[in-house]
Amino acid sequence: MFYIYSSLFISFALNLPKLLALRNEGVVAHYWRFDPYELIFQTVINFIFCLCIFYINRKYFRTPVNRWRLKEEGLALLINFVLLLLFTMITVKVQKRLFSPGLLPGKGVGMKFLISMLLIAIELKIVDILRHARSKEMENAQLRNAHLKAELGLLKGQLQPHFFFNALSSLSGVVREDPSQAQYYINQLSKVYRYSLQKNDNNLVNLKDELNAVQSYVALLKMRHEKGFELKVDIGEADMQYLLPHMSLQPLIENASKHNIVTVSRPLRIHIFIEDQQLIVENNIQPVSFPEAGTGIGLPNLNERYKILMQLEISIMKKDGKFIVKLPLK
């Protein structure tokens, strides 16, 4: 279709000026008598010529001239030249037989064919430049995606061992304190870890799956802290289809339990809700005197994953005795 439309445009552009001969007092009318059949004939023959030239040269003009292979490109140039002579001779003969003579043989059809070839060469080269630019852009986009995926893989690789070692540490405590609950703890731990290993194409999951996985992690914390840990989720079913990065909530809950006092007398309360298309995770602040040593990758890791996957950043603040994290949703 590109060749057809381009051929039509070139043919009309080179032959429409003859319409100026319709003005009897015009300059063109002194040299050429308007004949609609002749105009149609020259437009059609020019259109066919352009289509042939496009077809012959469709594989060329895709490499620099200094890289042309003489055998192939030379043959194409020869065919173009032969085609130019053939069309010019046939058109001139038809012109002499059917229409009135002009100042030039065939009324300048040879010149029109030459101009058509020049325009086609320019157009093919422009198309090749645009195609090459688009190819480079797609290649750069693929490289950027590969780099982001590699960077995301490194971030997830940081997160999983961090979670796993903490979970094993907690498991040893459960085994010492209540061996009968160890099997239940292992079952919940397996659910959380299985979810942490899940992968999809864009590393985004819906909010419902994320909350379901968090419930298993919360069950582990409640086994450890009993009534000292409370989680309240105020999210309607209609909002469960929002998307967010995989494993976004578990690091926040882990971070809150690690840096705050969690006892029956001073329970840690975490509230999760949605506001302005953001997932809000807030907890009361009651810092421990000697916090557990950590790797420091929890919140920075989450923020980096947000920047890679959603081109957004999380918001962190302290307000009215609460630690608040806002996660953009998609």
* 287: DSSP letter: B
Look-up of token digits 């061996």: 179
Q: What pLDDT shows up at residue 129?
A: 81
Chain centroid offset of residue 245 CA: 17
Point out which residues pair with 204 in neighbouring strands.
Answer: 245
**Do the Cβ atoms of 83 and 56 come closer than 8 Å?**
yes
Give counts: helices (H), strands (E), the chain: 9, 7
pLDDT (0 to 100) of residue 66: 47
- Give me the average pLDDT of each 10-residue run along the chain (330 residues): 83 72 53 70 86 80 52 72 86 78 63 85 82 80 63 54 61 65 72 67 79 83 82 90 86 84 89 92 86 61 81 89 92
CA-CA distance, 131 to 31, in Å (whole number)?
43
Q: What is the pLDDT of residue 254?
A: 82
Residue 269: its pLDDT value, please? 92
Residue 188 to residue 196: CA distance in whole angstroms: 13
Cβ atoms of residues 10 and 50 within 8 Å? yes
Collapsed DSSP state (helix, strand, coil) of residue 229: strand
The reported pLDDT for the residue numbered 219 is 81
Q: Which two tokens stand for residue 255?
A: 């971070």
Strands 229-234 and 268-275: parallel
Please report the pLDDT score of residue 283 as a whole number. 93
pTM of the model: 0.53
pLDDT at 78: 81
The token duo for 26 is 């015009």
Query: What is the pLDDT at residue 184?
Result: 72
Q: pLDDT at position 121, please? A: 81
Q: Which amino acid is at 308?
A: I
SS3 (DSSP) at 155: helix
Please tell me the predicted confidence (pLDDT) of residue 96.
Answer: 79
* Helix, strand, or coil (residue 206): strand
Assign residue 60 a region: left if phi > 0, alpha if psi is -120 to 50, beta otherwise?
beta
pLDDT reported for residue 126: 82
**Position 70, amino acid:** L
